[in-house]
Amino acid sequence: MSTITAVDVLDIRFPTSLELDGSDAMNTDPDYSAAYLIIRTDAGDELEGHGLVFTIGRGNEVEAAAIGALRAHILGLDVEGLLGDMGATWKLLAHDSQLRWLGPEKGVMHMAIGAVVNALWDLKAKRAGLPLWDLLSRMTPAELVALVDFRYLTDALTPEEALDILRQAEPGRAARRTRLLAEGYPAYTTTPGWLGYSDDKLVHLAKEAVADRFRQIKLKVGDNLQDDIRRLRTAREAVGPDIKIAVDANQRWDVDTAIEWIKHLAPFDIAWIEEPTSPDDVLGHAVIARAVAPIPVATGEHVQNRVVFKQMLQAGSLEVLQIDAARVAGVNENVAILLLAAKFGVRVCPHAGGVGLCEAVQHLSMFDFVALSGNKDDRMIEFVDHLHEHFVTPIDVHDGCYWPPSAPGGGSEMVGSSLAEFLFPDGPVWTRLDAGLTAPVSEKAPRAVAKAVS
Amino acid sequence: MSTITAVDVLDIRFPTSLELDGSDAMNTDPDYSAAYLIIRTDAGDELEGHGLVFTIGRGNEVEAAAIGALRAHILGLDVEGLLGDMGATWKLLAHDSQLRWLGPEKGVMHMAIGAVVNALWDLKAKRAGLPLWDLLSRMTPAELVALVDFRYLTDALTPEEALDILRQAEPGRAARRTRLLAEGYPAYTTTPGWLGYSDDKLVHLAKEAVADRFRQIKLKVGDNLQDDIRRLRTAREAVGPDIKIAVDANQRWDVDTAIEWIKHLAPFDIAWIEEPTSPDDVLGHAVIARAVAPIPVATGEHVQNRVVFKQMLQAGSLEVLQIDAARVAGVNENVAILLLAAKFGVRVCPHAGGVGLCEAVQHLSMFDFVALSGNKDDRMIEFVDHLHEHFVTPIDVHDGCYWPPSAPGGGSEMVGSSLAEFLFPDGPVWTRLDAGLTAPVSEKAPRAVAKAVS
């Protein structure tokens, strides 16, 4: 018997806007950040659960406050009880009627629940001495189904159907595990395609991606059509005809604009069009998907929960479903979404990048391959080469693939010195930026930006 | 010229769970609360802008933190500039790329934007010496269209169409203003129908509602079918055949359950079924609406933004659209939603109750009648008789109607002594409850509940 003795919450920010890493048509100056938590126990085994919500700067303190609001839900509770029934633990957090009012099941509060859920999974995997993907892959179909909250899903997926899907995958688990370890899991890279990069930098990074054996790159689009056409042509010339190029509009367009704009990009052999419009617009995505076919529509990194994914599958809004490790309410809800994707037969290509999203989401794809969809041939995990050095178990990406982590845990644990260095606003990185501040501060710019634009 | 000199944020909570006021199938023990802000200027006119987000207890501090995150966006800015172009001001807040990541346009952050926007409208109306409904009703169609962010709406409503709707209503404005002042705006009451009330209390309050000339009451349902049938029969006997009875499931059901359950309630002549399932489920609501017709489906109090309302109208998910003053991003977004409702020809019956929702939302319905839809005959504003004494300009509801406020402002300003009394956790009401705490505190119960269940 052990109990949870502390839930520490940290506001961690990286001044990435200084370099325009991560810039796109909607997010022009992100400071990649994490509202971060550490769950400690009195088990005496030194094991901690780490989890995070990725944000892009301002408002990270709001996300941290939301995680703090959940502290009282788990502090002092029995660890074995919480970890032994993660389905019930999920509901303990997600069904709190008062906190639910703040969503329900969306936005700041829902992402905070995801961070707590993921931190508990991290602790559970560390206790099991297994990487999360392997822990999940060893659970029985019934245990996996018990993780899922089927409320609002049963018109599309019942517990019985979920059980069938998992049971069908059961006989092949061992063979696919062996294949995963031998082959890795395919990756694609967004590193060349940020909107703030020059054409020269784009060409250089695109060629580097091909040399690194990636089979797909992704370009940000949507700010200016002529720029998009020029950059696509440039990228296509750089990588040749055999490398796939996806494009990502980051929600920039209305429905009709999307359809028109995509027609102009179609000649460059687009692998998919990502986030053409509002992530809330199930029907709008469906209209776009029909209009731009056979170019697949991809979305998901901002899709708030399983209920919206359910509808996107029902309506035919997407062909490529992009789960995110830190947008929905953690591992449990992503298991639900993977089951929905399997039921509807669409491929899952996770969103990653940011802070620690690659480290976390790879576990879900690898589990999906071993024990759920049983498929990875037409699937890829996004790869962005930023900030991995801050993680205790950074991703291992080479030869165009993610290679399965063997370290126990869920992957979100950051290095202690990084947590100290990038603590906002009092860590040394931020106090140094503060001291070097020379440019005039925009009157509307809160502190993070005031520092980053200096 | 004046500037914004302070944005004060307060965490205000009422221990309503002690009486089970406001209890329903999903919200069993709410402590009605408000994340509250006061905008002060150096104009020397003593005028302040007040706004709030209604919550039901735990997490109110998260909402307050979100409002705090917006402080830097307006502090020190020119008041006349902000109030003179409220469309641009809305975008200044809602389009912040870093804060947008926390939604986008949903949940904690979006509601916080709504509170700031509404506080600015309160200040603008006070400066004009007009109640908000009257201020809005005097704006030109072009000025009103300029308030709306049409991003993600143009496949359903263009600025030109919005202008047409408003222009068609223009000639009748003066006559409808006179009618509004003479006739009031119809109300219905939820006071009898809370799930935690006994049958005797239900009968007593239902008869009182009829005596008070309300033409519709509303009952909470969805927890237990036999209880619902008994309570509906009891209520129908109490009010007779001529009074409408709406029912509200507060998101309790899955799609199939909703359809089945509603069939059992249909014999009692249901005026509408409210929130049958997840507010995110556009397609689910559409399926339910078709299955239970001609019983109308009503929803909206938890619909996160104009993009989801747009789809609900496109899909035929609702017949009764229930705007809420504090769920979306303030007056501007509600003007967009009222325009969408007019375009699709559905009636708007606002959600109210909570803390100050009646005081705020009446302005939107009255404006809609005078200058937008031009219709109030089939519409009603919800009325709940709670907590009005804490407002500087409480609603005036009698003879089954809301009567137009004449005091300048948007209605959300609370009495100073109430703000002091119910401040959480250090106001005298909460310190007294703390001192009187005798029952054991549930290990998962945060402070508000710990106090309320004592």
Q: What is the pLDDT of residues A69-120, one digit of tens each?
A: 999 999 999 999 999 999 999 999 999 999 999 999 999 999 999 999 999 9
pLDDT of residue A447: 37
Of A423, A418, A373, A367, the residue nearest A392 (C-alpha) = A418
Of A323, A329, A306, the residue nearest A119 (C-alpha) = A329
- H or E element that contains B10: strand B4-13
Q: Which two tokens stand for residue A4?
A: 């949870």
| Residue A207 designated active-site | no
- H or E element that contains B211: helix B199-211
Q: ipTM score of the complex?
A: 0.94
Q: What is the pLDDT of residues A374-403, one digit of tens each?
A: 999 889 999 999 899 999 999 999 999 999
Residue contact B31–A308, C-beta within 8 A: no
Nearest chain A CA: its distance from B339 CA (Å): 18
Q: Which two tokens stand for residue B241?
A: 């055949």
Residues of B in contact with A251 (CB under 8 A): 104
Q: How confident is the model at residue A438 (pLDDT cuts 50, 70, 90)?
A: very low
pLDDT of residue A435: 73
Q: A282 to chain B: nearest residue by CA?
A: B311
Q: Please say if the pLDDT value at position B275 is more than 90.
A: yes
3-class secondary structure per residue, chain A: CCEEEEEEEEEEECCHHHCCCCCCCCCCCCCCEEEEEEEEECCCCCCCEEEEEEECCCCHHHHHHHHHHCHHHHCCCEHHHHHHCHHHHHHHHHCCHHHHCCCCCCHHHHHHHHHHHHHHHHHHHHHHCCEHHHHHHCCCHHHHHCCCCCCCCCCCCCHHHHHHHHHHHHHHHHHHHHHHHHHCEEEEEEEEECCCCCHHHHHHHHHHHHHCCCCEEEEECCCCHHHHHHHHHHHHHHHCCCCEEEEECCCCCCHHHHHHHHHHHHHHCEEEEECCCCCCCHHHHHHHHHHHCCCCEEECCCCCCHHHHHHHHHHCCCCEECCCCCCCCHHHHHHHHHHHHHHHCCEECCCCCCCCHHHHHHHHHHHHHHHHCCCCCCCCEEECCCCHHHECCCCCEECCEECCCCCCECCCCECHHHHHHCECCCCHHHHHHHHCCCCCCCCCCCHHHHHHCC
Residues of A in contact with B102 (CB under 8 A): 55, 59, 62-63, 107-108, 111
- In degrees rounded to 5, what are phi and psi of residue A39? -100, 125
Q: Please say if the pLDDT value at position A440 is more than 50.
A: no
Q: How confident is the model at residue B348 (pLDDT cuts 50, 70, 90)?
A: very high
pLDDT of residue A445: 37
pLDDT of residue A452: 30
pLDDT of residue B17: 83
Q: Please say if the pLDDT value at position A39 is more than 50.
A: yes
Q: How confident is the model at residue A436 (pLDDT cuts 50, 70, 90)?
A: low
Q: Residue B91: CB partners within 8 Å, gap ≥ 6?
A: B149
Pairwise CA distance, residues B401 & A212, whole Å: 71
Checking DSSP bridges between strand A297-299 and strand A320-321, what pairing results, if any?
Answer: parallel
Across the interface, of B62, B92, B315, the residue whose CB is closest to A65 is B62
For the residues A312-321, what does the mean pLDDT come to? Answer: 98
pLDDT of residue A16: 86
Q: B56 to chain A: nearest residue by CA?
A: A98
- The domain locations on chain B are 165-402
Q: Residue A198: CB partners within 8 Å, gap ≥ 6?
A: none
- Classify domain B165-402 at the CATH superfamily level: Enolase-like C-terminal domain (3.20.20.120)
For the residues B61-76, what does the mean pLDDT come to? Answer: 98
Q: Residue B434: how many CB atoms within 10 A of its CB?
A: 14
CATH code of A4-130+415-452, in short, is 3.30.390.10
Of A364, A402, A360, A366, the residue nearest A383 (C-alpha) = A402
pLDDT of residue A273: 98
Q: How confident is the model at residue A29 (pLDDT cuts 50, 70, 90)?
A: confident
pLDDT of residue A83: 98
Q: How confident is the model at residue B21 (pLDDT cuts 50, 70, 90)?
A: low
> Catalytic residue positions of B?
220, 351
Cα A269 to Cα A131, A265, B223, distances in angstroms: 38, 8, 53
Q: What is the pLDDT of residues A283-316, one digit of tens each?
A: 999 999 999 999 999 999 999 999 999 999 999 9
In sequence order, what are the beta bridge partners of B219?
B193, B247
A4-130+415-452 and A165-402, same CATH topology: no
Q: How confident is the model at residue B92 (pLDDT cuts 50, 70, 90)?
A: very high
Q: How confident is the model at residue B78 (pLDDT cuts 50, 70, 90)?
A: very high
Is the alpha carbon torsion for B349, B353, B357, B363 positive or negative?
positive
Cα A102 to Cα A28, A110, B63, distances in angstroms: 28, 9, 8
Q: Please say if the pLDDT value at position B44 is more than 50.
A: yes
Query: Which residue is associated with the tokens 């297994």?
Result: A130
Half-sphere exposure in the Cβ direction for B318 (13 Å, CA):
31
Q: Please say if the pLDDT value at position B394 is more than 70.
A: yes
For the residues A217-229, what does the mean pLDDT come to? Answer: 96
- H or E element that contains B66: helix B60-74
The 3-state DSSP class for residue B386 equals coil
Nearest chain A CA: its distance from B177 CA (Å): 36
pLDDT of residue A20: 64
Q: How confident is the model at residue B264 (pLDDT cuts 50, 70, 90)?
A: very high
pLDDT of residue B169: 98
Residue contact A28–B97, C-beta within 8 A: yes
Q: Which one is catalytic: A220, A285, A343, A390?
A: A220
Q: A56 to chain B: nearest residue by CA?
A: B98
Contact B122, B51 (CB under 8 A): yes
Q: Which two tokens stand for residue A254?
A: 């209305």
Checking DSSP bridges between strand B401-402 and strand B397-398, what pairing results, if any?
Answer: antiparallel
Give the gyration radius of chain A's Cα atoms: 21
Residues of B in contact with A31 (CB under 8 A): 98
Q: Please say if the pLDDT value at position A448 is more than 50.
A: no
pLDDT of residue A443: 32
Is the alpha carbon torsion for A105, A100, B392, B197 positive or negative?
positive
Directed axis angle between helix B107-128 and helix B330-344, to 10°?
100
Cα A350 to Cα A299, B31, B101, distances in angstroms: 9, 39, 18
Contact A96, A110 (CB under 8 A): no
pLDDT of residue A27: 72
Pairwise CA distance, residues A412 & A36, whole Å: 9
Q: Which two tokens stand for residue B291?
A: 């299955």
For the residues B44-62, what does the mean pLDDT come to? Answer: 97
Q: How confident is the model at residue B433 (pLDDT cuts 50, 70, 90)?
A: confident
Query: Which residue is associated with the tokens 């309300």?
Result: B214
DSSP class of residue B197 equals: S
Residue contact B255–A154, C-beta within 8 A: yes
Q: Please say if the pLDDT value at position A450 is more than 80.
A: no
Q: What is the pLDDT of residues A395-435, one digit of tens each?
A: 999 999 999 999 999 999 999 999 999 999 999 999 998 77
Lowest-confidence range among A7-21, A352-366, B401-415?
Answer: A7-21
Contact A332, A124 (CB under 8 A): no
Pairwise CA distance, residues A269 & A273, whole Å: 11
Percent of chain B with pLDDT over 90: 89
pLDDT of residue B435: 73
The answer to whether the pTM exceeds 0.80 is yes
- Whether a cis peptide bond, with omega within 30° of 0, leads into A192 is no
Q: Please say if the pLDDT value at position B111 is more than 80.
A: yes
Cα B437 to Cα A179, B12, B427, B444, B447, distances in angstroms: 60, 20, 16, 16, 11
Residue contact B443–A76, C-beta within 8 A: yes
Of B145, B112, B105, B97, the residue nearest B305 (C-alpha) = B105
For the residues A240-246, what does the mean pLDDT come to? Answer: 97
pLDDT of residue A264: 97
Half-sphere exposure in the Cβ direction for B392 (13 Å, CA):
18
Residues of B in contact with A72 (CB under 8 A): 444-447
10 Å CB burial of residue B344 (0-12, 13-18, 19+) is middle
Pairwise CA distance, residues B187 & A274, whole Å: 46
Across the interface, of A66, A310, A447, the residue whose CB is closest to B62 is A66
For the residues A13-40, what does the mean pLDDT come to? Answer: 85
pLDDT of residue A24: 73
Residue contact A102–B92, C-beta within 8 A: no
CA dihedral A202, A204, A208, A214 (to 10 degrees): 20
Q: Which two tokens stand for residue A313?
A: 């599958």
pLDDT of residue B27: 72
Across the interface, of B72, B98, B287, the residue whose CB is closest to A57 is B98
Of B242, B241, B244, the residue nearest B192 (C-alpha) = B244
Residue contact B30–A98, C-beta within 8 A: yes
Q: What is the pLDDT of residues B401-426, one digit of tens each?
A: 999 999 999 999 999 999 999 999 99
Residues of A in contact with B314 (CB under 8 A): 283
